[in-house]
Amino acid sequence: MTSYSGSCFCGAVGLEVQGKADVEAICHCQICRDWSASPVNAAALWKPENVNVIKGKEHLSSYAAVAGHEKTWCNLCGGHLLTDHRDSFGVIDVYACILDDYEISPTFHINYESTVLPIKDGLPKFKDFPAALGGSDELMDE
């Protein structure tokens, strides 16, 4: 199985993931927008056993404004690394953009009812989440 590694902004914390993410999507929710300071967030969800912190655990800090959304960053540089959703969805969202040579290929949008940046890319736009992820499965127009 292919592995991908990456790090925080300063390189003090290193991560490794095994294989491709189980789910790749674009999230438009307020939580992701606030955390990333951007209009969307590229979500790449892995099973917890496929995510490892390979160096710098002592430099990790985290915060959950909402239960089940434990945001984790490097406390030296502030670089965002992952969101631990184990308690809510059973997965870890590693920010794919920090992984060397990883090409994220989202297959749908989530929480599109909250969008502040409409995107016309032909991908399905879920009002909240697909049913398989506990959502309504309701689609929205681009």
The answer to whether the CB of 41 falls within 8 A of the CB of 61 is no
Task: Tell me the pTM.
Answer: 0.91
* pLDDT surpassing 90 at residue 30: yes
What pLDDT, on a 0 to 100 scale, did the predictor assign at position 20?
Answer: 95
**Tokens 């992820």 belong to residue:** 133
pLDDT in tens, 54-81: 999 999 999 998 888 899 999 999 999 9
* pLDDT surpassing 90 at residue 134: no
Domain residue extents for the chain: 3-140
Q: Is domain 3-140 classified as CATH 2.170.190.11? A: no
